[in-house]
Amino acid sequence: MITILYHFKKFRSLLAFMLFGMATWVNANECKELYLQGKINDAFEVCSSMSQASPVDSYDYLWSQLILFDIEFHKGDHEVALQKLLKFSKLDMSSSFRYEVLRRQGHYFRVKKRYLPAKDYYQDALTIAEELNSNVKLAKSYNDLGLIFLKEKKYDESINLLTQSLKIKRELNDPEYIRTTITNLGLLYFKTDEYDSAIEHYQEAEKI
């Protein structure tokens, strides 16, 4: 009888752990989806709750912190977002998460028009993307660095990187990513006085 009760308690504990894991998995995905849908306040509530409930270094905790940074950044609270990111970046994490952190650090400095540190962070992110051999990450990093070179008026380097990014994004067939890079190419052509090409790219982006 004692043996049966012992195993029953172990089974009940295991079941509770599995249910908790399923719940946090749903929250992690819900958190990201709400943010991507533009439901910022809802995303903030879900991410904050998930961050408090999840073990530090867990998948759910790491993603919640990334999205909370994005939310603060989206709201224009750049310094608050940066402090959150700096604290978060000290944790142990996989290369994939480290890539996301480095990109966001690059975003911060790009918005602040500090292009040299932005480029350094974007380059570090690109190095990880190459190590992981991830087309999704490579496409994002090429786009990020292409924008920096555009800001620096290094147009040849910019068009090379943006074109590489667009090629990969077309292969991935992701409309949102494709639209972003086509728009950036339109901006580049506008800056180089190639107005017909700029209009062509803007029109293509509008159709996606």
Q: What is the DSSP string of 135-179?
A: HHHHHHHHHHHHHHHHHTT-HHHHHHHHHHHHHHHHHHT-HHHHH
Binning pLDDT at 50, 70 and 90, where does residue 88 land? Answer: confident
Kindly report which listed range (6-10, 96-100, 182-186) carries the lowest average pLDDT score: 6-10
Q: What is the DSSP string of 94-121?
A: -HHHHHHHHHHHHHHHHHTT-HHHHHHH
Q: For position 20, what pLDDT does the model report?
A: 37
Q: What is the pLDDT of residues 156-167, one digit of tens each?
A: 999 999 999 999
- The single-letter code of the amino acid at 193 is D
Q: What is the pLDDT of residues 2-56, one digit of tens each?
A: 444 444 444 443 333 333 343 344 466 777 788 778 888 888 888 888 888 888 8
* Residue closest to 10 by CA, chosen among 54, 2, 22, 23: 2
Please give the mean pLDDT across all residues of the chain. Answer: 83
Provide the sign of the torsion angle of the four alpha carbons 103, 104, 106, 111, taken in this order. positive
Predicted confidence (pLDDT) at residue 206 exceeds the cutoff of 80: yes
204: tokens are 């293509």
170: tokens are 């077309």
Across 93-118, average pLDDT:
94
Dihedrals phi, psi of 102, to nearest 5 degrees: -60, -40
186: tokens are 């339109």
Q: For position 27, what pLDDT does the model report?
A: 63
Distance CA 122, CA 105 (A): 8
